[in-house]
Amino acid sequence: MRSLPQRTCMGCNQKKDKKELIRIVKNKNNEIFIDKKGKLEGRGAYICDNIECLDKVIKTKRLEKVLDTKISQEIYESLRGVILDK
């Protein structure tokens, strides 16, 4: 059996299959995108598809640390939208 690539969630620090996580990408122009298809180039960060992990990430500013840039409220709001929209 082929094992799927795993990544660590920034919120709960658990390893999960990459496809179960939401990827957030910073490209070389320092722009932040929510990478729904997992294909965008740049530095990636991962979070579980749940609000608890998102709230944790917002509180601890983990995303800003991992991607080493300021994250706007808009990005967090769109992440919340992606998570709730299922």
Strand 15-17 vs strand 6-8: parallel, antiparallel, or unpaired?
A: antiparallel
Give the residue with the Cβ less far from Zn ion, 13 or 31: 13
| Angle formed at CA 41 by CA 36 and CA 46, multiple of 5 degrees | 50
Give the residue with the Cβ less far from Zn ion, 45 or 53: 53
Token digits of residue 42:
């740049």
22 binds Zn ion (CB under 5 A): no
Work out the number of other CB atoms within 10 angstroms of the CB of residue 49: 16
66 binds Zn ion (CB under 5 A): no
48 binds Zn ion (CB under 5 A): yes
Binding region for Zn ion (CB under 5 A):
9, 11-12, 48, 53
